[in-house]
Amino acid sequence: MCNILFNITQVKRVYIGVERLLIKVLLGIPYDGEEIIYDLTDLAVKVTKANLSSLNQNKDYIDIDAPLLFHKDCAPQTRIPAKILQNIPEEERKVAMVSYKSPDQFLFSEERPQSMLIRIELFEDRVRKLENPLLMKFQISNMFIDPAIHALECQFYDEWAEDASWSRQGCDTSVNERDVLCSCDHMTPFAVLLVPAGRIDSRTWKILSIISYIGSGLSVFFTAISIMTYIIIRNPSQDHSNTIHVSLSSALFLLNVSFLLNEWLASMNIMPLCLFAGVLMHYGLLCSFTWMAIEALHLYLLIIRVFNTYVRRYIAKLSLIGWGVPAVIVGITFAVKSEPNQFYGLETITVGNFTSSLCWITEPLYFYGLNISYFALIFLFNNGILLTVSLRICQMRHFGRKTRRMTMPWRQACTVLGLTCLLGSTWGLAFLSYGEGLSIPMQYLFCIFNSLQGFFIFLWIYGTSRKAKREVKTSRTVS
């Protein structure tokens, strides 16, 4: 069987359709005896005459074994509901049990069959919504599964769906130490699959994608306004804070634009273009993280240290760090490997019936080793600064009580929330998304807050600018 061809979904559909027709033909061939086995190149088909007199003890099921391909432990125990056979003419009352030698035609990105893959066919074209479910017991005694990372699920290959893929719909799973019991209300190719624990279902994935695209679109629009406003009304004597805010906005603009264009560029299947898109998005991400750290450093010098904070060519040096460090990291990536696409390339994500392609980092070790550790250091540094500044704000509130110049509590709360967004603390929600039961809520919050970060920073810049203008106007009035 050609594995390369099975990477094409349309080829899979045609192959499975031809396979189904072949099984129907084998069901119609007359033979002597109770059963006959056809051992073909890629599968084995066992056609059995369903004798209703051979019902099991509860009179509701017929026991039929799948044809053996390897050792006996691999063969699942199968019970077919007798009711679906009662209204079929006796000469057509046959069941085809199919065992596959290779699961290649059913493979997808995350799901991997962990058991023998079987198929059950009758003369009926499509048997669904069974009153008594189809029962199958798969042995898994020789497998080690870490339940924190993966789970075993009974699934069927939905060849009738628009985008044929594995689905759990209509199937219940019961797992013990030795076996997986599958109970399904239809007949199609079945297997026990190894799937990521707590994975996102297709509906949630679609909602998260919509939230991300809307949020990123708003961030692009408002960061562009921030940048243009800064360029048009730039004042050489203005506070360094605005320059740093706009630099962070520029990094977020680059990140969000590359994210919005990424899937479209990936669909072109032009590898150099995809490589460029992946590198650009990674560079934008690292720049955003770096400028968040610079925001924290500047905040520390401005509020905590206060005195003796003059640094010659301050903005030039910060810009060299903010744009230069990420460029060095990406440059080293290209220098380490002779072929950069070993790190960057086309990444396919399959969730339920949804499949999307993204130009991104393809090497998991590089992704976790660099991105997560880089952000973790910045996250700890920024939140240390945020905690220190929050305590200083509380001290100022206490001082305000004594001098009767107390700031409203909600304003102080807004200040802390604004700083939280400015320093990228909401990106830390990514760590919480790995928790049991927290995954989906945290991913919703992560997508909402971080895709809108550019918009929130625009509000911060606008708010601080208005406050500065009011203070200037007040000082002129007093003088």
Give me the numbers of helices (H) and strands (E) for the chain, helices first please. Answer: 12, 15
Query: For 203-248, what is the HEC assignment?
Result: HHHHHHHHHHHHHHHHHHHHHHHHHHHHHHCCCCCCCHHHHHHHHH
Reported CATH class of domain 202-468: mainly alpha
Alpha carbons 466 and 479: distance in angstroms, whole number:
20
Per-residue pLDDT of the chain (479 residues; tens, 9 = 90+): 444 444 556 666 777 778 878 888 888 888 888 888 888 777 888 888 877 665 555 567 888 877 776 544 556 778 888 887 777 777 778 888 888 877 776 765 555 666 777 888 876 655 556 778 888 887 765 555 555 456 677 888 777 666 667 777 778 888 776 778 888 876 655 555 544 444 566 677 778 888 888 989 999 999 999 899 888 877 655 678 888 989 999 999 999 999 999 988 988 878 889 889 999 999 999 999 999 999 999 888 887 765 566 778 888 999 999 999 999 999 888 777 645 456 788 776 655 445 567 888 877 777 777 888 899 899 999 999 888 888 887 776 655 554 444 445 556 566 666 777 778 888 888 766 655 455 678 888 888 888 888 888 888 888 777 766 666 566 555 55
Please give the pLDDT value at position 307: 53
Please give the pLDDT value at position 322: 96
Helix (H, G, I), strand (E, B) or coil at 251: helix
How far CA 251 is from CA of 9, 219, 258, 264, 438, in Å, comes to: 38, 11, 11, 21, 30
- The amino acid occupying position 462 is Y
**Residue 315: which H helix or E strand, with range?**
helix 314-336
Please give the pLDDT value at position 223: 93
Please give the pLDDT value at position 408: 52
- The amino acid occupying position 132 is N
Please give the pLDDT value at position 143: 54
* CATH code, residues 5-196: 2.60.220.50
Please choose, from the candidates 77, 153, 148, 146, the residue with its C-alpha nearest in 3D space to the C-alpha of residue 112: 153
Please give the pLDDT value at position 393: 73
Residue 249: CB atoms within 10 Å:
26
Alpha carbons 22 and 16: distance in angstroms, whole number:
10
Please choose, from the candidates 87, 77, 31, the residue with its C-alpha nearest in 3D space to the C-alpha of residue 56: 77
Helix (H, G, I), strand (E, B) or coil at 359: strand
Q: Where are the domains of the chain?
A: 5-196, 202-468
CA dihedral 261→266→269→272, nearest 10 degrees, is: 70
Half-sphere exposure of 195 (CA within 13 A, CB side): 20
